[in-house]
Amino acid sequence: MPKIRKTKVEFEGRIEEREVIVEEEHVETWPRGATLRLVGKPTPRVDGVARVSGRALYTHDVQLPRMLIGRFLRSPHPHARIKAVDSAKAEALPGVALVWHRYHPAPIATLEGREIFPEEVAYEGAEVAFVAARDDRTAEDALALINVTYELLPFAFDLESATAEDAPKVLLDEGNWVSREGDVYQRGDVGTGLGDADEVVELTFTTPIASHCCLETHGSAASWEGDQVTVWHSTQSVFGTRSSVADALGIPMDKVRVISDYIGGGFGSKWGAEPYTLMAILAARETRRPVKAVLGREEEHLAAGYRPGSWQRVRLGAREDGTLTLIEHDAKVATGAFGGGGPVIGGPSKDLYACPNVRTVVRTSRTNADHARAFRAPGYVEGTFALEGAMDALAHKLGMDPLTLRMKNYAEMSPSRGGPYTFKGLRQAYEMGAERFGWSRAVPTDLPNGQGPWRRGRGIASQIWGGGGGPPANAIVRLLPDGTAELSVGVQDIGTGTKTVLTQVAAEELGLPLEAVRCIIGDTLPAPYGPGSGGSVTLASTTPAVRSACREVLRQVIALAAVMLGLEDASVDDFDVERGDIVYRKDPDRRLAFARVTAKMGDYTIVAKGARGPNPDDKAVNTFGAHFAEVAVNVETGQLRVERIVAVHDIGRVVNPLTATSQVYGGVMMGVGYATTEERIIDPATGLQLTANLEDYKVPLVTDTPAIEVLFVDVADTEANSVGSKGLGEPPIIPVAAAIANAVFDAVGVRVTDLPITPDRLLALLSRASNAGFSKEVE
Amino acid sequence: MTMPFRGPAAVPLVLHVNGEDFHVFVEPRRTLLSVLREELGLTGAKLGCGHGQCGACTVILDGETAYACLTLAIDCEDREIRTIEGLMRGDSLHPVQEALIAHDGYQCGFCTPGQVMSAVSLLEHNPRPTDDEIREGMAGNVCRCGAYPNIIASVAAAAELMAAEGD
Amino acid sequence: MAMHPFAYANANSLEEAAANLDGETRPLAGGTDLVALMKDGLVAPKRLVNLKTVPGLAGVVAHADGLHIGALTTLSNLASNPELQERRDLAALVEALEESATPQLRHTATIGGNLLQWPRCWYFRNPQVPCWRKGGRRCFAFQGENKYHTIFGGGPCFAPHPSDPSVALMALDASVLVVGPQDRDHRNGFRVVPLAEFFVLPRRDHEWADGYHPVTLLETDEIVAAVVVPQAADGARSAFVKVMERGAWDFALVSAAVSLTMDGNRVAASRVVLGGVAPIPWRANQAEAALRGERVSEDGVARAVRAAVADARPLGHNEYKVALAKQALAQAFRALA
């Protein structure tokens, strides 16, 4: 029976206490070292053929009869007041079905309390008008015919200009600071920490604005049947989308079905209904034709979110022996015109090391930009770059090995929560990584120091993140008459391999081969609620629910088998399931093949639901990792080559080593891009984004791929949940930039505190540090 | 010397796609990608950027890869167009496809059709590429998920598979 | 933005194509730049003349005056041409071709079109920005975001020329064969223009009817038919070096091409060209002068490299390009030493 309980869930650096309805789990936790048939084995994706054959259908690929295409006219100015919109010519263009804007609004004019076509547009790319037409050409031709009169307003394009004394107002009716005093976390006392320190380092860091660059741009399609709407939405949360669509339209949830079968990347940027979603839905209702609205690549940069840039100052104090006495971490971020609170930049400083005196502050300002969004480990990527860079500087100052310094300050208990962890394998990660990397050995000499312009160096950085997941998450399993099963979970696979791990866990639990379980996700209609794919929670939230549902199915099958074996009076607990057989424990010769039981069922379908249980009380559930980087720096050209990354992660039990390794590759590559080439550049004079494409915004290519070695601690976290697994989506990007920058310091003796590490920055630093004796410029 | 200009309104074109002739009626301004996706329903090639900056639209034209988003459909008359949809023989996968599945050479999969076409073409021209040649040959396809190490491994493994099949 | 509608015709001959060209009728070769410009609404021709149907425009032919590279030869076909692959004097060109763009673009883009690319400047390419090159009043990069911009020859436009092959071709003393109307300077229907003259620095009086300031002296009714690479002296060698931020698919921060002819162990003649640093491929005359009669020694190279950047005028954010240019050039010399 369901019960109401309180449980703590960590999501992107914030601990939430949720009051949730949970059901008793009927499942015993898989112990460490359990012999499992499918779980833990490298398993190619169950939807591999669809993905490699072009048959996988993404939101972009939705094509319905008589479908219209929707497009937005967007503000070409970072801040303006709309005085007039003349859309007569656009409306008269053959093939145009409708044009909506401020003076000819859609039936619903707001989304989440904000006007879709406001008088005051506060960023380049803000929605000004919407056109639905028979095809994309006609829609875009129509946009070109709309005449908008703007009154230009002063703008603040970045953190510095928005927080200056006489800064222009980002929004006419709001102050520029969202939070001037900031989000503050404190334990102990800064003065005490300083007083106790023998050495202090203080560094200032900046990080760039980074764009998600999902290869499938944001988009939705909508089709109505009577009062029911089906929405295809490229999203990380089909259920979040259903709620937001129902809210926006003011219609019951049962009238809304959301489908997101394949998603071309999300990385934190794709959630509920957005203006394009709502316009597509409303236009579809108005025209009685399906409507699809997807963003172009430029719009994706302008209006689909970003990781905010940051300014950070870190002060560390330590005793001579390396014991930390103080971590002080001040950050400022700018999150756009409507950005709200900043990311949890102080998270790593709060929790990565045992330190009695810690103070973190994150101040948030508005800027004339679209709102910042979560981007793969929001806050932790930025904060870890600064904290772990400062730790490296501290190690250097103390004359200590950077790894030794980290071990010295190892937090056995959760520093911010005070209690123990369910499991913490960071020490193992350090040890495994150091061993594999050869940390204690000298720098490899095949690219020798002193010969030619290249210098080699090595660095480390470590990481903490949540990823423990929690309720609510549900699963439904149907056992079909031929002994195969359908598994339905209310999640979506944004590329992490969710569908495959869910299938593995169900097949494992049911004792079926992988092929005998069909997993249905990415659709709100067949499934009970499942969480959004964020905070690295999907696997840890849903796989226990899958186990629970499967267990209930087995109970029912066993009950039938008992009858067939003439053991009506035996308890279900008297039976085991072994390789497709139901076995009577007291007399193992009395057994029945699973398929023989289901064959007896005729068209009766066994259906069972499972739910995720609560998290353990008073224990922190976290994931950890350590990265070791080797780089080569050309002291003449300032070019940086990331040559090797050894990445070790503790995520509890690894359900699918094949796809888990892929996650780490992906996080490392995204971290390499963040550290070396990616940067949104905005023109100070016009406030326009100069890098709103994939030529000037430089994501890494296959040619930029270092040798990446992936290791997992792979010890089941048996206190976390019944599967023993935690999430991995975000952790592998977190330590990358710091490990690389620390390796650059090792190579050439300059501390890079501003990302990305491009030749212009590195050359400037190198020429400033020419007294170090390595500058071999031709002079 | 006045030339016989066609358009700007829609004109009839014949496109040879995956060994079949398709008759379409499109404006000269239509790109090959838009015609493949919208007129022929071949949605394997994706629109990722529209400017030849991502590679998701990669197809094979007369034996060599090209970005369908920068190619005008009207420029493709009398050319052999191969798309991801023409790669499988019945239910059997091309070795590049098999290798990508085995080595998890993708994540979200959106760039995958383009990656597959680049790999197929690379191996047709260079059946035993070195690691560097694979990187150079695949440099025109962005994978934002960062599956690159497995893409490299997949192409290398596909080369092995094809060599074994050829024996 | 959707491309403006246009009409399209296949050309049967260059003469026919040229006779039909004007400001509103443009030639189409590989289209990798033109189609992108049209998609952004930066150019909107009413008609396109497809040159790919003109017989004999693709391929490499040896003539008495050197190699004639048909303008419609794709970058990939040119790079894999056996004659080019073998000749050490042409090594710079092969390297420049191989380091350009991506396989897909090299399969599509033509050598003629590559020389005729418009700047990749992020202000020029932004339809919202009325920059000088597009007929506006000023260069937005000059006092704006200019880390990728010029350190030589800038003003009124400070966008660097994007082509890698042009840098190598200039070092190889190449010319282009231009077809145009008989009534102008086209004896026998064509004129031969050395690349050094073909590329023109930004000039206010050099303007097309649509207000754009072109990067070459090509008029809107002219077509590049071929690139002519003259026969080099015996023993000539060349090298090309490109510095990028990514491992590929990146325009040059800086590139350098050097072609050397030796007399014993001394430099008889050299051509030194820098890319990514000026509105056109930038001939480093002072470096060439500094090398004449010298050995390619560390000192000699250092002098030449210093001379090459002596006149550099970096902007607010691209001082580093001076150091990069020196290093790229030094690397090119090292490759030839």
Q: Where are the domains of chain C?
A: 237-336
Dump pLDDT digits (tens) for A744-758. 999 999 999 999 999
CB contact under 8 A, A638 and C317: no
Give yes or no: residues A107 and A145 share one domain: yes
User: Which amino acid does the sequence have at C3?
Assistant: M
Give yes or no: residues A341 and A390 share one domain: yes
Residues of A in contact with C320 (CB under 8 A): 638, 759-760, 763-764
Q: Is the pLDDT of residue C186 over 70?
A: no
User: Is-cis flag, bond preceding A756, omega within 30?
Assistant: yes
CB contact under 8 A, B71 and C31: yes
This prediction's pTM: 0.97
Residues 6+ apart with CB under 8 A from B131: B152, B156
Among C327, C331, C334, the strongest candidate for a mutation testing the A interface, having the largest count of A CBs within 10 A, is C327
CB contact under 8 A, C306 and A695: no
CB contact under 8 A, A53 and B44: yes
| Higher per-residue pLDDT: C123 or A6 | C123
Nearest to A690 among C145, C248, C302 (CB): C145
C-alpha A559, offset from chain centre: 42
pLDDT (0 to 100) of residue A92: 98
Give yes or no: residues A512 and A661 share one domain: no
pLDDT (0 to 100) of residue A769: 83
> Which residue in chain C is spatially nearest to B65 when comparing CA positions?
C104
- Domain assignment present for residue A256? The answer is yes
Give yes or no: residues A535 and A391 share one domain: no
Dump pLDDT digits (tens) for A627-683. 999 999 999 889 999 999 999 999 999 999 999 999 999 999 999 999 999 999 999
Is the distance from CB of A30 to CB of A36 less than 8 angstroms?
Answer: yes
How large is the C-alpha radius of gyration of chain C?
A: 19
| Higher per-residue pLDDT: A450 or A232 | A232
pLDDT (0 to 100) of residue A593: 86
> Can you tell me the distance from the alpha carbon of B74 to that of B67, in angstroms, rounded to the nearest whole number?
15
With H, G, I as helix, E, B as strand and everything else as coil, classify residue B99.
helix
Give yes or no: residues A161 and A293 share one domain: no
> Do the strands C237-243 and C190-194 form a parallel or antiparallel pair, or are they unpaired?
unpaired
Mean pLDDT of chain C: 95
Q: Which of residues 268-327 of C touch A (CB under 8 A)?
A: 301-302, 305-306, 317-320, 323-324, 326-327
- Distance between B29 CA and the closest CA of chain C, angstroms: 6
> Reduced to 3 DSSP states, what percent helix, strand and coil does chain A have, rounded to the nearest 5?
30, 30, 45
pLDDT (0 to 100) of residue A779: 31
> Can you tell me the distance from the alpha carbon of B55 to that of A678, in angstroms, rounded to the nearest whole number?
18
Q: Which of A424-428, A711-715, C190-194 has the lowest mean pLDDT?
A: C190-194
pLDDT (0 to 100) of residue C7: 98
Query: Which residues share a beta bridge with A74?
Result: A127
Residues 6+ apart with CB under 8 A from A133: A68, A69, A71, A93, A95, A96, A97, A139, A142
Phi, psi angles (nearest 5°) of residue C274: -110, 145
The mean per-residue pLDDT over the stretch A122-139 comes to: 98
Give yes or no: residues A691 and A606 share one domain: no
Residue A135, chain C, CB below 8 Å: the answer is: no
**Quick one: CA torsion of A10, A15, A17, A22, rounded to 10 degrees?**
0
Domain closes at, from A611, A635, A667: A611
> Can you tell me the distance from the alpha carbon of C309 to that of C287, in angstroms, rounded to the nearest whole number?
8
Dump pLDDT digits (tens) for A295-328. 999 999 999 999 999 999 999 999 999 999 999 9
Closest CA to A353 of A393, A315, A391, A321: A391
- Distance between B46 CA and the closest CA of chain C, angstroms: 15
Q: Which two three-digit tokens encode residue C125?
A: 């390419």
Q: Which two three-digit tokens encode residue C41?
A: 């609404």
Q: Say which residue the tokens 């094979």 belong to.
A: B60
Dump pLDDT digits (tens) for C130-162. 999 999 999 999 999 999 999 999 999 999 999
Nearest to C103 among B9, B50, B65 (CB): B65
> Can you tell me the distance from the alpha carbon of C129 to that of A299, in angstroms, rounded to the nearest whole number?
17
> Can you tell me the distance from the alpha carbon of A459 to that of A627, in angstroms, rounded to the nearest whole number?
8
Task: Give the A:C interface size as CB pairs under 8 Å.
Answer: 92
Closest CA to C278 of C131, C115, C163, C154: C154
The mean per-residue pLDDT over the stretch C56-84 comes to: 96
Q: Is the pLDDT of residue A772 over 60?
A: no
CB contact under 8 A, B104 and A661: yes
Dump pLDDT digits (tens) for A582-640. 999 999 999 998 888 888 888 888 999 999 999 998 899 999 999 999 999 999 889 99
Query: Which residues share a beta bridge with A104?
Result: A101
Q: Is the pLDDT of residue C282 over 90?
A: yes
Q: Which two three-digit tokens encode residue A229?
A: 């709407």
CB contact under 8 A, C306 and A681: no
CB contact under 8 A, C327 and A686: no
Q: Say which residue the tokens 């975001």 belong to.
A: C145
Closest CA to C253 of C148, C114, C144, C165: C148
Is the distance from CB of A591 to CB of A584 less than 8 angstroms?
Answer: yes
Give yes or no: residues A189 and A321 share one domain: yes
CB contact under 8 A, B28 and C20: no
> Can you tell me the distance from the alpha carbon of A370 to that of C293, in angstroms, rounded to the nearest whole number?
60
User: Which amino acid does the sequence have at C252?
Assistant: A
- Domain assignment present for residue A710? The answer is yes
- Domain assignment present for residue A123? The answer is yes
- Distance between C329 CA and the closest CA of chain B, angstroms: 24
- How much of chain A, in percent, has pLDDT values that exceed 90? 87
Q: Is the pLDDT of residue C46 over 90?
A: yes
C-alpha A771, offset from chain centre: 42
Domains of chain B by range and CATH?
11-86 (3.10.20.30), 95-166 (1.10.150.120)
Mean pLDDT of chain A: 94
Closest CA to A674 of A234, A267, A125, A160: A267
> Can you tell me the distance from the alpha carbon of C125 to that of A683, in angstroms, rounded to the nearest whole number?
14
Dump pLDDT digits (tens) for C217-272. 999 999 999 999 999 888 899 999 999 999 999 999 999 999 999 999 899 999 99
- Distance between B118 CA and the closest CA of chain C, angstroms: 8
- Domain assignment present for residue A554? The answer is yes
- Domain assignment present for residue A272? The answer is yes
pLDDT (0 to 100) of residue A16: 83
CB contact under 8 A, B65 and C7: no
Distances from the Cα of B98 to the Cαs of B90, B94, B135, in angstroms?
14, 6, 19
Residue A69's domain is classified under what CATH number?
3.30.365.10
What is the assigned CATH class of domain C237-336? alpha beta
Domain count, chain A: 4
DSSP letters of A560-626? HHHHHTT-TTS-GGGEEEETTEEEETT-TT-EEEHHHHHHTTTT--EEEEEE--PPPTT-B--EEEE
Nearest to C104 among B4, B29, B55 (CB): B55
pLDDT (0 to 100) of residue C190: 84
Residues 6+ apart with CB under 8 A from A399: none
In the predicted model, residues of chain B with pLDDT beneath 50 are none
Q: Say which residue the tokens 């500058």 belong to.
A: A775
**Confidence label for A777 from pLDDT (cuts 50, 70 and 90):** very low
Q: Is the ipTM of this complex over 0.95?
A: yes
Dump pLDDT digits (tens) for A178-224. 988 999 999 999 999 999 999 999 999 999 999 999 999 999 999 99
Q: Which of residues 88-107 of C touch A (CB under 8 A)?
A: none
Residue A44, chain B, CB below 8 Å: the answer is: yes
Give yes or no: residues A147 and A199 share one domain: no
DSSP letters of A88-113? HHHHHSTTEEEEEETTB--S--EETT
| Chain C residues with CB within 8 Å of chain B CB | 2-11, 15-17, 19-20, 28, 31-32, 35-36, 38-39, 46-50, 52, 76, 98, 101-105, 107-108, 247-249
pLDDT (0 to 100) of residue A627: 98
Q: Which of A337-341, C16-20, C242-246 has the lowest mean pLDDT?
A: A337-341
CB contact under 8 A, B7 and C5: yes
Q: Which two three-digit tokens encode residue C186?
A: 């086209």
Nearest to A690 among C122, C318, C324 (CB): C122
Q: Is the pLDDT of residue A133 over 90?
A: yes
Give first-to-last CA distance, chain A, whole Å. 80
Nearest to C247 among A140, A695, A704 (CB): A704
Using the Cα atoms of residue C292, residue C298, residue C299 and residue C305 in order, give the sign of their dihedral.
Answer: positive
CB contact under 8 A, B75 and C2: no
pLDDT (0 to 100) of residue A12: 82
Domain holding A53, by residue range, is 3-58+469-611
Alpha helices in C32-190 (DSSP H): 34-39, 75-79, 82-86, 91-98, 103-108, 111-115, 165-171
Distances from the Cα of C138 to the Cαs of A389, A696, C202, in angstroms?
42, 22, 12
Nearest to A684 among C144, C249, C330 (CB): C144
Residues of B in contact with A60 (CB under 8 A): 43, 46-47
CB contact under 8 A, B43 and A658: no
